[in-house]
Amino acid sequence: MPERIQRSRAKGWRLPVGATIVDRSSRWGNPFIIRPRLATRPDDKHGAGETIPGRWVYDVINTDTGEQRRTGDTRAYAHQFATQKYEEETLYYRLEHGQIDLEPLRGRDLACWCPTADPETGRTLACHADVLLEYAAHPDPLQLARDRKAGRNPKQYHH
């Protein structure tokens, strides 16, 4: 059964034979990036607050539009949000307009830079490669996208 693989720059690491890269360097890449930053305390006088040491928040940025959204305090939620936006906005649009072909992904392992688990909690992290695996395995990816858009066959992004 095909699976998601985390790419690595570690010495000696090689992409497994038969796997396909689906990161942003490919036509299947997710334009929603996750950017961690230190949390800040609000400052009523100047509008910018002081940073809170060791406390991170995560923004998701659409590199196609520049739109930025603060998604919350956990890496897991940021990954869920970016993955959900990829499916609902990017993948749906590309399938609907014939801009993406998932056939080359069918039956293959997919490789992305997203970590498979949060290093702090060990929780599985969502990645758009998971969505691509599901859609590539479906007999009619466009119909699946339309069903999801209409609220049928909803995807759960909890891990």
Query: What is the pLDDT tens value at each position of the chain, 159 positions in all?
Result: 999 999 999 999 999 999 999 999 999 999 999 998 888 776 655 556 677 777 788 999 999 999 998 777 788 899 999 999 999 999 999 999 999 999 999 999 999 999 999 888 888 999 999 999 999 999 999 999 999 999 887 665 544
User: What is the predicted pLDDT for the residue at 70?
Assistant: 75
Task: For 61-130, give the DSSP string.
Answer: EETTT--EEEEES-HHHHHHHHHHHIIIIIIHHHHHTT----GGGTTS-EEESS-SB-TTT--B---HHH
Cα–Cα distance measured from residue 7 to residue 16, given in angstroms and rounded to the nearest whole number: 10
Q: Is residue 27 within 8 Å of 111, Cβ to Cβ? A: no
Enter the tokens of residue 88. Answer: 């609902």
Q: Is residue 21 within 8 Å of 111, Cβ to Cβ? A: yes
